[in-house]
Structure 1
Amino acid sequence: MKAETIRIIDVWTGKGICFFLTMLRRLWDAFAPRPLSPPPVRKILFIKLIEQGATVLAYSALRRAIDQAGRENVYFMVFEENREILFILDLLPAENVLIIRNRDFLTFSRDILSALIRVRKLRIDAVVDLEFFARASAIISFLTGAERRVGLHRFTSEAPYRGDLMTHRVQYNPYFHTAKAYLLLVEALARSPGEIPLSKIPERDLAVTAPRFRPTEEETGRLEKRLADIWGEAGSGPLVLLNPNAGDLLPLRKWSTENFIALGRKILEKRPDVRLIITGAPSEAASAEAVCSRIGSRRAVTLAGRTTLRELLVLYTLADVLVTNDSGPGHFASMTDIDNVVLFGPETPHLFGAIGGRPRTIYAKLACSPCVNAFNHRFSPCNDNRCMQVITVEEILRTVLACLAERNKASGTAS
């Protein structure tokens, strides 16, 4: 199922289910009140089905959960196509990743049922819902039967309705970076559910860190050989990566293909020593090939759809600059030392910017931005993404050239 389809199902089907389960929960609580002082948490399940980039931002939250319950007692539910980043982060045992296939609604439903049966057999007693105001994840959280269920609650706001299915209800703070918001959810596990709203702790106590990716020598060697096979003796100059696509999750985030083509040409014109690689997912391979062809240089190649996610991160450790829309690669790159030029428009870097690496954020700050957020289920009314259109090729070119100059200067100083 496409991301748009999932959101539509969540909105139009989820409301009724959330209402029904809320009535069921209140009836149950009337006859079997919850204990005021539940025992310490033993096993924790995270639910974050979509967006691998957001999983990178959950790194500190995962680390905190591991501190509380132990590595072998932390689990993560995720869509099949988003699982790889969890294996790269290497925080949890592979068998603790509960994979949900979403190729169609029947398969999705079957996998959810299987996962719920497994969760109940494992006797998981705490669930952390990382999906902001999504109804599907709230429903899944409730159906796990976990004694503690932590997630966002709208209280008196006009945020999307998803019933009252959480035991630990956290107030959404639109001024918190997402990495801190995730950590806050985990910290709420140790708080009393009677504390309304959760959590009344100082922001300074929510210290977040970014993960680091370190490839093995063998991985680096294999990719270096692959690049040498592409360029031969000419393969010694700086390496610039372009990621032209933002996927179908939020097309408004896209900087135009024409801009990426013009940028690629100008970079190669200004820096005859630079090599250019177009990156992207397998579904973006054809469009990336077209971009590369129109750049029209033997120094430009495409690897879109030809690398695993882990190989892409190895490539980031070898490259100098990445230019990308606000999407997963911007967060993956934050795990390395590549200069990470990320173009923001309908969302804000104040909430979703990279927290590690060498970020170079480009953001026009139009008055209408951000127009997608937790309150509108990321359904924007925008019909003209001017926030991305006003970002010029010349501005990004200057940023890329400055990054290359700084890296060259640092390299000269180090030598």
Structure 2
Amino acid sequence: MLRSRLLGKGKGFDLVEQELICDGEELEDQRLITDICKSNDSVIHLLIRKSAKVRVKPVEKDFELCIEALDLNDKEVDNVREHKQGALSMGYRGIERKPLSRQFLLEPLIVNTKIQLPLVIRELIKSTLNGLERGNEPIRSSEGSGGAYFMQDSSGLKYVSVFKPIDEEPMAVNNPQGLPLSVDGEGLKKGTRVGQGALREVAAYILDHPKSGPRSFSGEERGFAGVPPTAMVKCLHRGFNNPDGYEYDSKNIKIGSLQMFMENNGSCEDMGPRAFPVAEVHKISVLDIRLANADRHAGNILVSKDGERGKIVLIPIDHGYCLPTNFEDCTFDWLYWPQAQQPYSPDTVKYIKALDAGQDIALLKFHGWDIPPEVARTLHISTMLLKKGVERGLTPFAIGSIMCRETLKKESVIEQIVQEARDVVLPGSSEAAFLEAVSLIMDRRLDKL
């Protein structure tokens, strides 16, 4: 078992710093040389990370590996040959400088140098990177209309994150599902744009404040709704959809969202809603109303059982269609669940009353999203509706029904309110004046309920 005997930790350099390749196939743990090297003349390539440091010359009973300390740039490769007598030796004979198929990149995308990545995000990127370094390939999900990749940990036994490249979103140029390109740039949902799904995924995490307020840099506090930790990253790997071929080149780097993979027992599609705790449904309703989610269905709410008693926890995922520029496609599957008919608890009401759309917009801009005025308006109005609703003791069903259409062609109440405000506000009026008109009209509508 070549790797453990020749290059194990403490006998040369760490396992994550090297790979052994023969005829394009990796010599994995628990495998013998003879498993993939069929002749005595087979060539084995040793791939060494740039940061690797050779500590000793490892010598074993059956094999001998001689390493000369070199300045290895870009994972340069030296040749290793297995001799008939069973001795393995490596000598420096000149290094071929060419792109390698196993090269990859994973880095956080930081547009504001004042941002300090939360610890949970740093650990998420580190564990994903460790998996890539061990040669564990991204696994594309068979579900959904866009490209989503399960990223494995260093053992290859479990998933640690999900990567969604913006160029593989539905109707994007490299979408792997064969969807047609968007003619005008609009996404599958009204009020969204192709290529902005990753921004919205990250925005949902940023705006999912813990009960104590906006998330601190430590990042350990769980958000009120439990959106998994999510960050913008740039990533390069041959395992993604690259119709024009893969090369280790900056032009092939993909930008997208990296979200922590959450262990689960399926989604809400797999079971009836009556088993879900009221508080779990309510926390998701708060998130969806506030962000005007245009794609909340039972399939993107995961079900997890927490602790020995098996308490059910709901985990909201897939927020690429939240914060649209209008309310036309707002969709909430939970609207007709029995829990939505019950009033919010005092703790939830307290959380809602503390929300501030202006601060949220500033927070998104701080994190690099130059949020369009139409999206900022949506967030202001949806937060306004949620806060005014709970002040009047309205249930999630009552508030959500104002935001969602009864039929495809019948405008929702919130759409009617916005249109009425447009009709009464003078041309050239400020955004503050428009929002004040929306507030007055909304008060009048809500008081009639």
Looking at CA atoms only, which structure, 1 or 2, has the larger radius of gyration?
Answer: 2
- Give the TM-score category using the shorter length: under 0.3
Higher relative contact order (CA 8 A, sep 6+): 1
Q: Higher helix fraction: Structure 1 or Structure 2?
A: 1
